[in-house]
Structures are given as C-alpha cells and as structure tokens.
C-alpha cells in the first residue's frame, strides 16, 4: 500500500490577513524611504501642482510630499509635530571663509560663524582670459572673492528687468566660454551648466531669465528663492530683488530671510546683478511704520537694515558691467 504525504495544513484566515497587512505596511514604508532619498538627490524639490512655476503662483507654505503623502501616518507628519526650538550650528561646510565674513554679521548677528574651507582649499579658476565687461565679476571670483556685485545703469524697471535677465544669461555663457573650473583637492573640475544656478525673487523674473537661456544651457536651474532652499551650486547668479525698484519697501522685497537664501546657495562663487543707486534709494525710503524701542522685532525693518549692510559689504567687490 502506497502511503500518501499528509496534506499541508491550511493557513488560518486571521493569520493570512495579518501577514498581508505586514507586507503592505512594509511595502509602503519602502516606497516612502525611496521617495525621500530621491527627493534629497533631486535637483528640484518635490512640489505640488499649486506651487509649480507654470501656474504662476508662489510656493505654498504647507508641506507636500508628492504621491507619498498618503503613506505618511498623521502622527509623524511635520505639520502635526509640536513646535521645536531651532538649533544654530556655527559651522558651514558649503560657504567659503570670504563669504562667511560678509554674511555672518548681517544674517546671523551674535553667532560666531566659521567656515571649514577657505580659498586655499576651494576656489575658481579660468582657463582663458577675457576683456569684456561681463568678465570683470568673473575675474574677481578668480582672485579669491566669494561674492561680487555686478551693476547696471540706474533705472526704474518694475518687477521684470529684461536687460538684467539678459546680463544673468550672459554671465552664465561667459563663464562656460572662459572654461571656469573649481580647483579642489589639487585638481580642476570644469564647470558645466548643471553647476550653475540662477535665483530670483519672483516667478515672472524666473520666466524672463529662462526665455533668454540658449538650448545648450537648459540644464541651468533657474528658480525662486523658495525653491532654492536646501540646494546649492558651484556658481550662483542672483537677481537682486530691489534692483530697479529700491523705492518699494514691501516686506516681500525687503525680506532678510529671502536674501539670505539667495546669497548662500553657492559653494565657490556668487555674482549679484543689480542696478546702481540702490543704496541711496534705501536711505531715502526707509520702511514705514512705528518701531518702538525694545518692542517686538520688525522683519521689514530688519530686512531694510540687512540690505543696506550687504550693499556696504560688497562695495569693494563691485564692478560695472554696463
């Protein structure tokens, strides 16, 4: 008589449901972890359709995690967490010592901020000489300056300045034509379009700069300051928010936090492009409102003061490009 093997015992329905639930939870957390890693390594942060530049709106303040939002438990969502006290770290790995000397006292008063690197460890080099007006700020960066201010003739332009946008594009083109490279670790790494960034204060300014970019430079990231938070490039070109409209003392234009982001995204060099006369206009048009001594801090007044200090600090490294 042939013996037959005993049949496998059937899995209890309750155990099967628990197993499927564990697998589903594990799969969702794997997707979430992959999404977070991809977001950190991406050039452009994940945003909602409402904050996309093609809709012409500013980014929203509410956190957005793309398609992974449904997988985040509400108890772990950042918006549900209790407020925490920020911790200031007085050391920067991105910025060079020359830049830290300019911005530390302006944006981080009272903090002894230090840079881990200086011009001896990381600097910009140019393979070919230049003689045009656009070459002057690039020559300053090669000489060891971390930041320079390139100026155009004084003129009221409103929110969008086509000439300034063309100057930003011209600086990017000229830096590639002259063979700009990052000297670090004993070797020179040539700059590519992916190593250049352009930051503006308004979406309309972003659109004006993008329209002037040639197809070969489509990899240059042009975005607003909100989108640039957490990102960096070797060379940053900045559209000064007060250029051509320094008499406008709105909180958006005078925001010290926004200007801090715009001037701290570079690893090696930063060129700020603006029209001349902003310092005089700021002196003649201080922000309106009553500011009581010892009262609550006024962000608009603090931004007005930060802009004045930044222009004064950049006076020795100011060049005329037109």
Q: What is the number of other CB atoms lying within 10 angstroms of the CB of residue 201?
A: 23
Residues of the chain with CATH 3.40.50.300: 91-287+297-320
CA–CA separation, 318 and 271 (whole Å): 10
CA angle 226, 124, 136 (to 5 degrees): 85
Q: For the full predicted model, state whether its pTM sits above 0.85.
A: no
CA–CA separation, 58 and 71 (whole Å): 26
CA–CA separation, 173 and 167 (whole Å): 10
Instruction: Give, as one character, the DSSP assignment of residue 28.
Output: H
pLDDT above 70: residue 286: yes
The whole-number pLDDT of residue 241 equals 93
The whole-number pLDDT of residue 29 equals 67
Coil vs helix vs strand at 80: helix
pLDDT above 70: residue 63: no
What is the pLDDT confidence band of residue 297, given thresholds at 50, 70 and 90? confident
At the topology level of CATH, where does 91-287+297-320 sit?
Rossmann fold (3.40.50)
The whole-number pLDDT of residue 231 equals 95
What is the pLDDT confidence band of residue 295, given thresholds at 50, 70 and 90? low
Per the prediction, the chain carries an average pLDDT of 80
Percent of the chain with pLDDT over 90: 51
Mean pLDDT of 168-178: 97
The whole-number pLDDT of residue 308 equals 93
CA–CA separation, 159 and 140 (whole Å): 28
CA–CA separation, 105 and 127 (whole Å): 34
Radius of gyration of the chain, Cα coordinates, nearest whole angstrom: 25
Please report how many Cα atoms fall inside a 13 Å half-sphere around the Cα of residue 154, on the Cβ side.
8
The per-residue pLDDT for range 260-275, each reduced to its tens digit, is: 999 999 999 999 999 9
**Six token digits for residue 175:** 């830096």
């Amino acid at each position: 008589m042939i013996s037959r093997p005993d049949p496998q015992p059937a899995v209890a329905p309750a155990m099967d449901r628990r197993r499927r639930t564990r697998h589903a939870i594990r799969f969702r957390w794997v997707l979430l972890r992959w999404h977070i890693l991809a977001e950190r390594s991406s050039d452009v942060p994940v945003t909602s359709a409402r904050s996309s530049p093609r809709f012409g709106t500013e980014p929203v303040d509410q956190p957005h995690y793309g398609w992974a939002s449904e997988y985040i438990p509400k108890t772990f969502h950042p918006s549900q967490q209790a407020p925490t006290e920020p911790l200031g770290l007085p050391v920067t790995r991105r910025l060079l010592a020359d830049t830290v000397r300019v911005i530390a006292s302006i944006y981080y008063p009272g903090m002894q901020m230090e840079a881990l690197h200086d011009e001896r460890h990381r600097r910009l080099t140019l393979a070919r000489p230049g003689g045009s007006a656009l070459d002057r700020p690039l020559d300053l960066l090669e000489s060891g300056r971390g930041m320079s201010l390139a100026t155009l003739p004084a003129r009221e332009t409103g929110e969008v300045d086509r000439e300034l946008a063309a100057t930003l594009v011209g600086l990017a083109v000229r830096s590639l034509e002259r063979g700009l490279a990052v000297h670090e670790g004993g070797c020179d790494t040539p700059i590519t379009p992916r190593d250049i960034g352009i930051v503006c204060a308004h979406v309309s300014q972003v659109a004006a700069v993008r329209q002037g970019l040639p197809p070969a430079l489509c990899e240059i990231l042009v975005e607003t300051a909100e989108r640039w938070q957490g990102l960096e490039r070797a060379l940053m070109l900045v559209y000064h928010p007060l250029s051509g409209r320094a008499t406008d003392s709105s909180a958006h234009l005078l925001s010290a936090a926004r200007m801090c982001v715009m001037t701290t995204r570079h690893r090696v060099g930063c060129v700020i492009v603006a029209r001349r006369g902003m310092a005089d206009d700021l002196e003649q048009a201080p922000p309106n409102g009553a500011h009581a001594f010892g009262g609550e801090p006024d962000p608009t007044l603090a931004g007005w003061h930060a802009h004045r200090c930044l222009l004064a600090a950049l006076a020795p490294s100011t060049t005329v490009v037109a």
